[in-house]
């Protein structure tokens, strides 16, 4: 079992022990409804073909159709996809949207493919998983290495196979083909809303120092919004470059530069940019108020958790903290707002997009953001009501979020019963 799946299972079993979950429900919730693995050829630009391996895992659909991203990464594996699918189940339940959890991916470095090759791969992978996806069955979304364009290709491929346009089969699409206003920034905006609510009784966001690890869609948007909200973002990093400035980095222009195809390294070369290059590990150990790990899973481990100096960890990535690191952080009095709560803004606005697609309606960005704030704040308050802030040693926010997620899924299972 890979560390990421081991972490997901440890988190579940710890919470299951605490809520007294029955052995039958425990067995059901650690099993997976559908595990789909496929190997498929893709035609390359030189007219040769390569074989790729892809996965789609549906964890649990007691609360509704399954929902989860598609990632393109060299590190995609079955265990990773299973862990992410399980986390999606709890995440959807915590924010109380009527979905279950799923995840998928292809083992590939998308940077090595041309635009045409990425399209060929996406369309072929979509054709492979058509038997298990659908607007009432399983609804993919963007993730690491994929984006709105990928979702447009998936929607078009599925629609062509069915013979008519079905915008609700995926979310995270461009607005022009049935996407939702506000979806692109939804995960980062949700993180910001949760942090604002968390700090609302303790002076708010203004002037808080922040370190953000990862500068993709989640980290980049979060760093931009936190700066605009009055925080001082002192550290940012991507896969190649980590930057620091004590007075705060201009993350608004940095994110705009990255969106135009640049990187933090090339942004640093722009006129007027003030920042020092630091080691990537310095971001995780930064002496700041808030640490936002927003890159990949398992970056906070038993080997570096004792070096974390932030008093609050806001999880932007899925599974950035191992079970061992969780214990260390809790023992040190560091609050962790867990991924299944903190980064649920993406799936929440995906739900809004799905609703709009089913009704052939278009919400305004203001409406989307207002509803996102409402659901994120409600979810945060529900979790905190189970484990009040300052309860170190008695419970953690992760445990409380897991309790909420597990209990809501079990409630749905019990109401529906088991089909004979």
CATH class of 186-343+390-398: alpha beta
Domain boundaries, the chain: 32-167, 186-343+390-398
Q: What is the dihedral of CA 60, 63, 69, 75, to 10 degrees?
A: -20
Which pLDDT score is estimated for 3? Answer: 84
Is-catalytic flag, 10? no
The pair of three-digit structure tokens given for residue 177, joined into one six-digit string: 């083909």
Paired sense of beta strands 290-293 and 312-314, if any: parallel
- Residue 131 gets which letter from DSSP? G
* 3.40.50.10860, 3.90.1570.10, 3.40.50.450, 1.10.10.10: CATH of 32-167: 3.40.50.10860
Angle at 169 between CA 163 and CA 171, to 5 degrees: 140
Are residues 354 and 331 in contact, defined by beta-carbon separation less than 8 angstroms? no
Which pLDDT score is estimated for 393? Answer: 63
**Domain 32-167 and domain 186-343+390-398 have a common topology:** yes
Measured distance CA(66)–CA(57) in Å, rounded: 9
Q: What is the pTM of this model?
A: 0.93
What b-and-e string marks burial along 71-81, b requiring 16 or more CB atoms within 10 Å of the CB?
bbbeebbbbbb
Q: What is the dihedral of CA 16, 17, 20, 23, to 10 degrees?
A: 70
Measured distance CA(137)–CA(33) in Å, rounded: 12
Measured distance CA(299)–CA(293) in Å, rounded: 8
First-last CA distance in the chain: 31
For 391, what's the count of Cα atoms within 13 Å in the CB-facing half-sphere?
14
Which pLDDT score is estimated for 391? Answer: 61
Are residues 90 and 101 in contact, defined by beta-carbon separation less than 8 angstroms? yes
Give the pLDDT means over successive 10-residue stretches in the chain (420 positions).
88 93 95 97 97 98 97 96 96 97 97 97 98 97 94 98 96 95 94 96 91 94 96 94 94 94 92 90 95 91 94 94 92 93 96 95 96 97 87 81 96 93
Q: Which of 33, 67, 91, 103 is catalytic?
A: 103
- Of the candidates 229, 266, 238, 234, the one whose C-alpha atom is nearest the C-alpha of residue 250 is 234
């Amino acid at each position: 079992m890979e560390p990421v799946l081991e972490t997901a299972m440890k988190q579940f079993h710890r919470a299951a022990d605490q809520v007294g979950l029955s052995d039958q429900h425990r067995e059901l919730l650690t099993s997976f409804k559908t595990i789909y693995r496929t190997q498929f050829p893709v035609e390359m630009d030189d007219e040769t073909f390569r074989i790729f391996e892809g996965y789609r895992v549906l964890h649990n659909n007691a609360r509704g159709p399954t929902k989860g991203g598609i990632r393109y990464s060299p590190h995609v594996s079955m265990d990773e996809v299973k862990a992410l699918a399980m986390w999606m189940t709890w995440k959807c339940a915590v924010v109380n949207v009527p979905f279950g959890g799923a995840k998928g991916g292809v083992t590939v470095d998308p940077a090595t493919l041309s635009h045409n090759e990425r399209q060929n791969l996406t369309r072929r992978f979509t054709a492979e998983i058509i038997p298990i996806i659908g607007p009432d069955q399983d609804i993919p979304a963007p993730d690491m290495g994929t984006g709105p364009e990928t979702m447009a290709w998936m929607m078009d491929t599925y629609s062509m196979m069915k013979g008519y346009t079905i915008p609700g089969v995926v979310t995270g699409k461009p607005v022009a083909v049935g996407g939702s206003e506000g979806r692109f920034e939804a995960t980062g905006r949700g993180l910001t809303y949760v942090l604002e609510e968390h700090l609302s009784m303790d002076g708010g966001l203004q002037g808080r120092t922040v370190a953000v690890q990862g500068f993709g869609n989640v980290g980049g948007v979060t760093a931009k919004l936190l700066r605009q909200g009055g925080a001082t973002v002192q550290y940012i990093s991507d896969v190649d470059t980590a930057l620091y400035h004590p007075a705060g980095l201009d993350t608004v222009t940095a994110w705009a530069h990255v969106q135009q195809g640049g990187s933090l390294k090339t942004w640093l070369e722009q006129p007027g940019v003030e920042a020092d290059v630091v080691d990537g590990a310095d971001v995780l150990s930064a002496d700041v108020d808030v640490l936002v790990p927003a890159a990949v899973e398992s970056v906070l481990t038993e080997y570096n958790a004792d070096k974390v100096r932030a008093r609050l960890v806001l999880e932007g990535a899925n599974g950035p903290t191992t079970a061992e690191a969780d214990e260390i952080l809790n023992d040190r009095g560091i609050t962790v707002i867990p991924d299944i709560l903190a980064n649920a803004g993406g799936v929440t606005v995906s739900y809004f997009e799905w609703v709009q697609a089913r009704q052939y309606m278009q919400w305004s960005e203001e409406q989307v953001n207002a509803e996102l704030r409402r659901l994120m704040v409600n979810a945060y308050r529900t979790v905190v009501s189970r484990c009040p802030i300052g309860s170190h040693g008695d419970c953690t926010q992760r445990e409380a979020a897991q309790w909420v997620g597990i209990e809501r899924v079990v409630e749905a299972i019990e109401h529906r019963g088991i089909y004979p």
